[in-house]
Amino acid sequence: ISSDLTQCYDDEETPPPDPKTLCPYCDTPLPAKPTHILKKLLDRTYFQSCSNPRPGNRLGRKAPSAIFGVVCQRHIFESNVLPQAKERGWPTQINWATLKDRVLHMERELAKILADPGDPVVYRGDGKEDNDAKEQQGSKPERSDGPRMRCLFWDDLVKRVKTQGSKGLRNITSQYYNFHKMQPGYYGELGLVIIQRALCGMFPLEDIDPGLVKPLTPMEFIQSIFVPEVGMRLVMADFGLNVNNWSDKEQAVEVLRDSASYGVAMFPYEESTGK
Ligand SMILES: [Zn+2]
């Protein structure tokens, strides 16, 4: 409460803000440390706008809303969302140069997940795979606790298929699910592209035995199992979590999902294609 009061009195006594610290379009304060993305947007729109001094912002500028809208959206994001992200321990800078190698280092662990067919029940999901399922069932019992079933994302798929049948499977491959569950959290779109490229290098789609990824296609397996698996492992390394501990994994997945929207806004792909 006291800080609110201080704020209140401050507002009445403080001099008008330095126009250099204000958004030239909407006159609200810009973040103290704008990211290079915001700076680039400000530079770009500068040349698409014209000077429009006004009381309260002598450096004010005028432009069609289609042009300045992106700037305002961005600085509002950086002012409001960035501090929250920092508070939650989500990075505001990522060492992109090392990301590919970090993913490539996961090859052995990922290959184990791919090679282990896991719980055979999932293959009966659409009722057409009975023959295959019988074949699968004939093999080793440790499949229920092998690398595949210890993959939280595959485990989730198995549970969905078991309880919802092919509807559960459709949900998993749907767009909505894709956005919220397949984004690699705060690694954002740029992270997604780097992860996907590294995965396709390690596991070319044509080399994936379709029988090992059923009921998914090899592409769906990469997108909906491996991309989030890699994202989870990256987050676990960032947060010092233990990859062999189930509840640590769940904690990392929560971070992935909570930070997905932040990641997309913070590290868009297009803005960074020059890198
Ligand atoms: Zn603005």
pLDDT tens, 224-246?
Answer: 899 999 999 999 999 999 999 99
Ligand 1 mean position to 264 CA, how many Å? 20
9 CA distance to ligand 1 centroid (A)? 25
pLDDT of 257 > 70? The answer is: yes
Distance between Cα 28 and ligand 1 center (Å): 6
- Given the cut 0.95, state whether the ipTM is greater than it: yes
Identify the H or E element spanning 51.
strand 50-51
Which DSSP helix (H) or strand (E) runs through 61?
Answer: strand 61-62
In the predicted structure, residue 91 carries a pLDDT above the cut 60: yes
Mean model confidence pLDDT for the chain? 83
- pLDDT score at 135: 45
Contacts of 246 (CB under 8 A, 6+ apart): 150, 152
Instruction: Reply yes or no on whether the pLDDT at 215 is more than 60.
Output: yes
| Residue range 154-183, pLDDT digits in tens | 988 888 888 877 776 766 666 555 555 578
Range list of β-strands (E), the chain? 50-51, 61-62
The answer to whether 151 and 226 have CB atoms below 8 angstroms apart is no
- Ligand 1 midpoint to CA 45 (Å): 12
Distance 12 CA to ligand 1 centre (A): 23
Q: Is residue 73 over pLDDT 60?
A: yes
Q: What pLDDT, on a 0 to 100 scale, did the predictor assign at position 6?
A: 47
pLDDT tens for each residue of 1-37: 444 444 545 555 677 789 999 999 999 999 988 988 8
Question: What is the percent of the chain where pLDDT is above 70?
Answer: 79
Q: CA-CA distance, 143 to 155, in Å (whole number)?
A: 12
Question: How many angstroms does the Cα of residue 74 sit away from the middle of ligand 1?
Answer: 8
